[in-house]
Copies of this chain bind each other. A is one copy, B any other.
Amino acid sequence: MENTLLLNEQAGAAQAAVNELAGLSTLEKNKALSDMADTLEHRQRLILAENQIDLTNSRNKNLSAAMLDRLMLNEERIHQIADGLRKIAALPDPVGSGLMEVKRPNGLDIRAVRVPLGVVGIIYEARPNVTADVVGLCIKSGNAVLLRGGSEAVNTNKIISSMLAAAAYSAGVPEGSIQFIDPTDRSLVTEMLHLRKYIDVIIPRGGSNLIKYVVDNSTVPVIETGAGICHAFIDKSADKDMAANIVINAKTSRPAVCNTIETLLVHRDIAKDFLPLIADKLSKYNVEMRGCERTRAFCPDMAPAGEEDWATEYHDLILSIKLVDDINAAVSHINTYGTKHSEVIVTNDYASAQFFQNKIDAAAVYVNASTRFTDGFEFGFGAEIGISTQKLHARGPMGLNALTTMKYLINGSGQIR
């Protein structure tokens, strides 16, 4: 109850800041970002001390080595985080840029310009670098931000966000623009999801359970991010070496991230040549393979894949493999089991490439390139707040523009209707 009141106050203070925040000039915001970066570096010992507390607590809770590594900060990582803020400062400011302008027959001049969304609530899991990243993107786009990170990183996130808030405030960013929400009280997540009065959008970043909880419970508009059951379809005309390179890269270069493939679909006409080749290569990368019956006819050592495999995001070095009769079967499988994230066809056939890009319903549809490119930096946006897997507002990698809305400015000389 006390926490709920505090959350309401925090969100109210954030909303109270938005008008002034929206009016900051690009120079003012860039100065704040630069000061924020400097603070993190100058006061890194304090951050590392708090991070040690989180690490010790997490070791006592038997967190996995991978989780501990994601949580751990050192001098080099803090430098990278600070540098991330400086890179955001160097990006073009989306606020105020014109989206359209028309002069109507009655003389009205109608313009649409980008403006900040207002208050952005982020609910995210363990990595502390997300804290500075998200704050940087929100401040650059003129938004206030409420940070609800993972409880494992509570002390690290708290010190980072308070340092950022202090540096921003000194640089002229209004109080209330950057706020840390206590992650030890889980009921506050649910509270946040209902603060429509103060919060303009909620962005969940994390596993599918978190995202599903947010979507099911929020009355605040949500931008869904990150769930990725991605596929590679190897068409009969594919260059087999190119196909193998793409599959290896899309599965093994970072298996825990969302733009990794989970299922390989192989056209039956190329299966006899391609399946043994790719199985041999994948086994050298320690990828566990699970095949459909027809795949296992070519690779008898492979474990069987079941219905649940097609619907699983492994986040791991595991790949399910299915032999399909034609491109229609591949498209149908992908539109059934995919999460509308990233899909690729490897082909040398013009009509197949076109058909695949037209018929697949996903944020990013590739021909002859790894799905791992679905990323704000790789797309040239210079930053990324997440990868939207929904269709409204933003789809695919979200840069600074995704944190803005627009308003129409209409200038007249007394027109009435």
Chain B binder among A50-58, A133-141, A239-247, A269-277:
A239-247
Report the Cα distance A361→B365, complex, angstroms. 37
A144 within 8 A of B: no
Least distance between A268 CB and chain B CB atoms (Å): 23
A13 contacts chain B at the CB level, 8 A cutoff:
no
> Is A150 positioned at the interface, with any CB of B under 8 Å from its CB?
no
Is there contact, CB below 8 Å, between A365 and B407? yes
CB pair A410–B364 under 8 Å, yes or no, is: yes
Q: Which chain B residue shows the least CB distance to A239?
A: B414
Interface contact A219-B215, CB-CB below 8 Å = yes
Contact, CB under 8 Å: A393 / B393: yes
- Most B CB within 10 A of own CB, among A370, A378, A379, A415: A415
**Given A373-B410, A412-B368; A391-B201 close (CB under 8 Å):** yes
**Cβ-defined contact, B414 with A378, below 8 A:** no
**Which of B19, B223, B411 is in CB contact (< 8 Å) with A367?**
B411
In contact, B366 and A410 (Cβ under 8 angstroms) = yes
Q: Is A208 an interface residue (CB 8 A)?
A: no
CB-defined contacts of A416 to chain B, threshold 8 Å: 245-246, 248-250, 253, 369-370, 372
Determine if B242 and A373 form an interchain contact, defined as CB atoms under 8 angstroms apart: no
Interface presence of A409 (CB below 8 A): yes
Contact of A380 among B104, B223, B395 (CB under 8 A): B104
Residues of chain B with a CB closer than 8 A to A115's CB? 361
Q: Which of B19, B242, B357 is A414 in contact with, Cβ under 8 Å?
A: B242
Contact residues of A: prevailing secondary structure? mixed
Q: Which residues of B contact A239 (CB under 8 A)?
A: 414
A417 at the interface (CB under 8 A from B): yes
Interface assignment of A170: CB less than 8 Å from any CB of chain B: no
**Which A residues, 215 to 274, have Cβ-Cβ distances below 8 Å to chain B?**
215-216, 219, 221-223, 239, 242, 245-246, 248-250, 253
Chain A interface residue count: which class? Answer: 35 or more
**Residues on the B chain within 8 Å of A407, using CB:** 361-365, 395-396
In the bound complex, residues from chain B placing their C-beta under 8 Å from that of A118 are 361, 391
> B391–A200 contact, CB under 8 A?
yes
From B23, B359, B393, contact of A359 by CB (8 A): B23
B residues less than 8 Å from A22 (CB atoms): 358
Q: Jot down 5 A-B pairs with beta carbons below 8 A, ordered by A.
A: A196-B215, A253-B417, A369-B413, A369-B416, A378-B417
Chain A residues with a Cβ under 8 A of chain B = 18-19, 22-23, 102, 104, 108, 110, 115, 117-118, 196, 200-201, 215-216, 219, 221-223, 239, 242, 245-246, 248-250, 253, 335, 353, 357-359, 361-370, 372-374, 378-380, 390-393, 395-396, 405-417
Extra contacts besides A215-B219, A395-B408 (20): CB < 8 Å? A18-B361, A23-B358, A104-B379, A104-B380, A110-B379, A223-B392, A248-B416, A250-B416, A367-B409, A367-B411, A367-B412, A368-B413, A368-B415, A369-B412, A369-B415, A370-B417, A373-B410, A373-B417, A392-B392, A396-B408
